[in-house]
Amino acid sequence: MPAYQPEDLAPLEVALLGVLSVGLPPSRAAGSDTFRVDHVTAVVHALASGQTAEHHLVPGQVAVTPEFRAQLRAAIASLSEKGLVAQQPAGMPAAAGGFEDGLQIDLVDPDEHPAVLDRYLSQLCMEQLFNIPAVYPYLMERYAASGEVWRRLRDGGYARD
């Protein structure tokens, strides 16, 4: 398998890999669809492209547009073909950036939340996103909010032996 760098990828592929590296909690556990990988990727991709945060969202909603969903699925298929992510079977529980056995908090659509196979590249993509001035405040807010949700989950007994 060739070694990829962020510049070898399409902008949406970089956005998705970077978002998957942020460590978003399951949206159901967070109590908000604004933690969904498709939503965060849509906002990040729009901001990185010089558009408004809502560009790929259904007007007045947090849901992504059907057009963006199709683009995201194509990006996932492309990353999968490159061996960088793996689409998960339908109904499998998932944590952002990978699969964790026993996590039964949130069932996700595998077309929107693949497992990362190249964590190093994913981390590079996240760092690239954090270096975009329009993206930084939004992604940092999602990162900080994710930390709060994960803290609450762990305080509630998640991941204790």
pLDDT tens digits, one per residue of 124-145: 999 999 999 999 999 999 999 9
Which secondary structure element, helix H or strand E, spans residue 96, and what is its range?
A: none
Domains of the chain: which residue ranges? 7-154
* Neighbouring residues of 94: CB distance < 8 A, sequence distance ≥ 6: 26, 88, 100, 103, 106, 108, 110, 113, 115
In tens, the pLDDT along 66-95 reads 999 999 989 999 999 999 998 765 544 444
Q: With b meaning 16 or more CB within 10 Å and e meaning fewer, what string describes 87-96?
A: bbeeeebbbb
Say what the pLDDT of residue 23 is. Answer: 86
- For 54, the token pair is 């809502």
- pTM, two decimals, is 0.83
